[in-house]
Structure 1
């Protein structure tokens, strides 16, 4: 399947998931995950009108960002080491993996030096899997209290990764849990403005995520394909 065909198919799936759940199509943003493809393939994605590019490691993103950084909106979607903050700050408009105080401190410090605000998603391990990063749900409120003083860090929503399931329907409780946690935190007004965003759903389960309220879905193979495609 060509890139154009994949984009068209994904668009149809996103639109149908929105229709099933009574949502407007413009509530859902698609991030093209390009971590496994070259700068040329990432450029082809941008050429087709996809605006948002997702990468999970600076080592593999650097070449693409230096070639294409002016063209897209860049999302850092992987686990971010504190010593890599200096590389991604000011280049990636969104950080999807804020999961500990040491990282928040470093983001705040580097953002203050650049006089910018960083839009971040607090990563929460809803599924409880030991192999996944993220705060435990019961830690989320205390974490938001801890970083309330940071003026250059704007927590706009929550992010989670669901287990890979042969039946995507089995991921629904994870996505529903993230939405419910966001709503509970908003009701307690832990952030200056309500958190509106939910980054959840990947190639295998994004339709279920959209039905449960995702505002950002992170799509790699189903959208971008592989290097040889």
Structure 2
């Protein structure tokens, strides 16, 4: 199918999943972030022209290369692991950095954003599953870490993100999504100053409908829109 047809199907699946939500919803929408890793700007333009307005990239270098030639107005989300030496490159462009996973990264984002006169929106990446191959804060430290981040004047904490394990049976991802939703609602209830806790980023191509049912309001879909990655 074409990118336009894939998008129609994804949006339909999102709306159907919203009808099956099992928990109190956060806000009125589920935002779709189109993940464009290793896909060219022609594919990106087709997606944008068919309703996508948020682009997710794993690598800083791809953001920098594509934003110059894309010729479209979009939100840029960094969803991959961020190294300290790349912060100064991404902060000028990123609308949302979804992968803040250490105090060191938070401090560097704050330092660069202050130089630019910018307040950078971020999510804390949480390693709910405890997999060694995944980045993210241990769930039991998230509230304390959120309080630390809230003291940085040039960062605005906007929510949480996780990556679920890649199970053949996607039903096995539910406990991960449920745990992060519970942590997210706890974070909102604490009412930490200098934050705007509105986004719960859970779910990718294989499991986004389950994630929405369990409370996600931001999903990151690449293959489902663009097909297999071009290497």
CA-based RMSD: 1.8
Shift of 1:148: 2.6
**Residue number in structure 2 paired with 1:133:** 135
**Residue number in structure 2 paired with 1:3:** 3
In the alignment, the residues of structure 1 paired with residue 186 and residue 229 of structure 2 have an alpha-carbon distance, to the nearest angstrom, of 42
> SS of the residue aligned with 2:132?
coil
Matched, 1:166 2:172: no
Matched, 1:218 2:220: yes
**Residue number in structure 1 paired with 2:159:** 157
Contact 2:156-2:194 within 8 A present in 1 as well: no
**Residue number in structure 1 paired with 2:16:** 16
Q: Map of 1:87-166 to 2, 5 A cutoff?
A: 87-166=89-168
Q: 1:197 to 1:41 in 2, by over 3 A?
A: same
Matched, 1:66 2:68: yes
Contact 1:58-1:84 within 8 A present in 2 as well: yes
Moved more, 25-34 or 43-52: 25-34
In the alignment, the residues of structure 1 paired with residue 155 and residue 115 of structure 2 have an alpha-carbon distance, to the nearest angstrom, of 12
Please list the CA deviations of residues 175-204 of structure 1 after superposition, one character each: whole Å capped at 9, or x if unmatched.
Answer: 111110111222223343451210110000
Structure 1 residue ranges (4+ consecutive) displaced by more than 4 angstroms after TM superposition: 22-26
Shift of 1:25: 9.5
Contact 1:124-1:135 within 8 A present in 2 as well: yes
Contact 2:26-2:198 within 8 A present in 1 as well: no
Shift of 1:24: 9.2
**Residue in structure 1 matching 2:200, options 190, 198, 201:** 198
Moved more, 176-185 or 190-199: 190-199
In the alignment, the residues of structure 1 paired with residue 108 and residue 209 of structure 2 have an alpha-carbon distance, to the nearest angstrom, of 35
Shift of 1:70: 5.0
Contact 1:122-1:159 within 8 A present in 2 as well: yes
Please list the CA deviations of residues 107-161 of structure 1 after superposition, one character each: whole Å capped at 9, or x if unmatched.
Answer: 0011111111111110100011110000001111221222232111011100000
In the alignment, the residues of structure 2 paired with residue 188 and residue 46 of structure 1 have an alpha-carbon distance, to the nearest angstrom, of 37
Q: 1:173 to 1:13 in 2, by over 3 A?
A: same
Q: Where does structure 2 lack aligned partners over 5 or more consecutive residues? A: none
- What TM-score results when the alignment is normalised by the length of structure 2? 0.93
Contact 1:141-1:190 within 8 A present in 2 as well: no
Q: Where does structure 1 lack aligned partners over 5 or more consecutive residues? A: none
